[in-house]
Amino acid sequence: MASAPQEALAVRSETLVARLISGFVLAVVATFGAVAGGWTFTVLIAALGTLMAFEWDRLCGGPLYGPYGSMHAAAVTGAAVLTGTGRIGAAVLLVVATAVVGAMLARGRGRDVRWLTGGLLYIAIPTIAAVWIRSDHEWGRLAILGLFAVIWSTDTGAYFAGRTIGGPKLAPTISPGKTWAGLIGGILAAILAALIVARLADLEPLWLVAALGALVSLVGQIGDLGKSKVKRHFGVKDSGNLIPGHGGIIDRLDSTLATLPLLAIALALWL
């Protein structure tokens, strides 16, 4: 019979394998969507937004596929489609109208309006940003792929720096596993990834690309902590159970959700 430490090690190993496999599959799908662009990317983003809308409603105490999750999922899908056809103003109006109507309905049914409305905006704004960024024929593909490279490098750098260096905890009451070493390691890895992308794409000035990579990394890690704070507030471990080893879609995309609006603003200023 295996001892308790051996059983715990086996469980961690199985979780790590599941995490690596599912992470690889997600990376392939995301990269394919970003490279393909057009309606392939828009449909992928809309599908992810729909799943996250249902996850958020469930996270806030709602039923699976409940009315508010369905309403928000429809709004996110509609916003993605409208943005994909160049009607970003209509997409924003749809999200705002849905938020107002949802808040009015929720107020009389014992649901927390702040969390429901905040969740819709948390998902819809990055959805609109993603489709808008990718719709740029000159820079869209590079911007999305570059964002993926920076986010994934941040995760890798933070993991290995945190494991090898350790040290003081970053936010022990929110996410006990995160350290200051991990934060810095993630930022350094992100800067390296951004510079590699810049060299491959012949982007200048390099200092600005490096600064943007560092900022994206920092905002992404703050987004990760923010999601952890929300889960602690509601007393749940994961936002869902759809992705083996990761939890829910929101668990996997928290950093991306936080950084897409930032990237959209940066591109609007840059271009």
pLDDT tens-digit readout, 221-251:
999 999 999 999 888 887 877 776 667 899 8
For the segment 180-224, what is each residue's pLDDT rounded down to a tens digit? 999 999 999 999 999 999 999 999 899 999 999 999 999 999 999
Q: What phi, psi does 179 have (nearest 5°)?
A: -125, 165
DSSP 63: P
Helical H segments across 60-87, by residue range: 67-84
DSSP secondary structure letter of residue 176: E
pLDDT at 26: 87
Q: Which residues pair with 175 in a beta bridge?
A: 171
Q: Give the pLDDT confidence of 52-98 residue by residue, as tens digits.
A: 999 999 988 888 788 889 999 999 999 999 999 999 999 999 999 99
Orientation angle between helical segments 113-134 and 140-164, nearest 10 degrees: 120
Q: What residue spans define the domains of the chain?
A: 37-135, 138-271
Q: Residue 140 is encoded by which pair of tokens?
A: 């869209």
Q: CA-CA distance, 175 to 232, in Å (whole number)? A: 9
Distance CA 99, CA 105 (A): 10
Q: How far apart are alpha carbons 251 and 227 in whole angstroms?
A: 8
pLDDT attached to residue 239: 81
Do 34 and 148 form a contact (C-beta atoms < 8 A)?
A: yes
State the DSSP code for 224: H
Please state, as a whole number, how many other Cβ atoms lie within 10 Å of the Cβ of residue 10: 11
Write down the pLDDT at residue 14.
Answer: 63
Distance (Å, whole) CA 62 – CA 65: 8
Token pair recorded at residue 251: 């668990």
DSSP secondary structure code for residue 247 in this structure: B
Nearby residues of 238 by Cβ (< 8 Å), 6 or more positions away: 231, 246, 247, 248, 251
For 169, the enclosing helix (H) or strand (E) is strand 169-171
User: pTM value?
Assistant: 0.90
What is the pLDDT at residue 85?
A: 96
From the list 120, 127, 34, 17, the residue with the least C-alpha distance to 70 is 120
**Residue 177: partners with Cβ closer than 8 Å, 6 or more residues away:** 162
Model confidence pLDDT, tens digit, residues 86-108: 999 999 999 999 999 988 888 77
